[in-house]
Chains A and B, each alone.
Chain A
């Protein structure tokens, strides 16, 4: 058609160049170069690995996941082979991956976060995402992200060691996510991912037992979308750094809502179980069609648009 505007799905996320705003969320697949590559082939604009720590971790015993009516509750317990082993996977992934590789990182101390981040970037990570929001492992994750003082220390320590963008993944399990976001930005975060899972549990009525071996875990999936959307909206009002929206996104419409709330890109994980791995392609095509229909030329034009209405 003549006169039709070309829509550009490119996103510059704190220096990372994405060809579309969809990303694989951390914790989903992400152990191996083959699976990360296959997610990219399914249309993800960038991929985030499973959270990697300094030492190997076997995670919790099963049940590590509960399928409920409204979403999934998981307490995997951060299983990962440790950074020393994982640098090989990062190198192998970088050889084949055509989209930016973000390595998710956790630690039990400021030093651990910094050490792991340094090694990940050294091996070729295009960015790191600090997991300061895992709701089910003690002395890391949300226990760091809920404490502004420690959170700032961790971010500063990582920033000193790496010259690549540092994403900080925020927990919704706080009194004010905007306050925490501001703390993270001041400490040097280049981008913020909102949100990690919502702390939750499941109890079986027949046996009167908590189902997860860890008893508590994190809720993901469509149930948390409205919570995540509100978090992104609140964070956008307080910070200048880009926000990556995450939580319950399974369709292009969900994704667009997050962009309108203030996210520059979005992440999906549970959607893979609900819609299949090609959800990345269908969502980015849907975003493209939406932009076209509404007369926009780029993703950037609608980021935070709902704040002006």
Chain B
């Protein structure tokens, strides 16, 4: 076998087994796929919506029985089409791709926003098995969009979870980064895992840097090939699809000029992050 299983990771189709509504804009899709069922937290897959588009999605859960789940927010044409699919309908799958979060023991902080909470939940389930102490900060625009809150509460303990909403409809009013300084001042953390809007992750990184705490952040870029060839997802010298999507604090330092600042557009041009 070659160093990378690219050749074996060919396009295949599967049927949607289950679709669950998580929030007004997010649905979880579950399907069978042997290869992606072996995925680790942080890895992603490419999901083909036949005749519409193919999109990168973080893996929310992967089970030994062969099922895989992804949480998808309705943001554009492709995700809208996916939201309209019913159980039993056919989708295409490639993956899993990319690296994964390292599973650390000790005192851990997770900072997640929006569907960025999906890979963090997958990770939290693994960390719970390692008896890690997890503090959780989760952010969303509104109360209804706070994803997987009950599951996180179960894993981390209610007292260790802080929720933030931009409109103040639940928890702390503000961004996921609002309660961070308080937590960082109080707790001696071994690592921070973060996934969500990149500007949020940049803030997390900057705060962690002031205190010398390790960070792993899962980044997102435009994806086409997902196997490290096309260059659509590059940040600095790194390819998010192959060298990432999870980046360590050292790597994030190397790409400081772009992290939370800019990304490559469809034509390859660097543009400011929205």
Using a CB–CB distance below 8 Å, which chain A residues touch chain B? Answer: 27-32, 34-35, 37-38, 50, 56-59, 61-69, 72, 74, 76, 79-82, 85, 202, 204, 206-207, 209, 211, 213, 221, 250, 269-270, 272-277
Contacts and interface: CB of A to CB of B under 8 A. Distances in A.
Given A34-B236, A273-B229, A76 B7 contact: no
**Chain B, interface residues (CB within 8 Å), range:** 35 or more
Contact of A65 (B55, B90, B224, B267): B224
Contacts of B229: 27-29, 65, 72, 269-270, 272-273
B154 interface: no
Nearest to A85: B269
B234 A209 contact: no
Given A65-B224, A270-B229, A276-B4, A207 B268 contact: no
Interface stretch (B9-17, B107-115, B199-207): B9-17
B209 interface: no
A58 B234 contact: no
A109 B37 CA distance: 49
Interface in B77-134: 90, 92, 94
Interface stretch (B46-54, B145-153, B175-183): B46-54
Given A204-B11, A207-B90, A64 B3 contact: no
A286 to B, nearest CB: 15
- Give the dominant DSSP class at A's interface: loop
A26 B11 CA distance: 24
Question: Interface centre among B224, B234, B264, by most A CB within 10 Å?
Answer: B224
Contacts, number: 129
B11 A67 contact: yes
B224 A32 contact: no
Interface string B62-76: 000000000000000
Given A58-B267, A62-B53, A64-B224, A37 B237 contact: yes
Given A61-B53, A273-B4, A275-B2, A35 B234 contact: yes
Contact of A80 (B10, B55, B224, B267): B267
Interface of B: 2-4, 6-7, 9-11, 13, 46, 48, 50-51, 53-55, 90, 92, 94, 223-232, 234, 236-237, 239, 264-269
Nearest to A74: B225
Contacts of B228: 272-273, 277
A204 B13 contact: yes
B52 to A, nearest CB: 8
Contacts of A38: 237
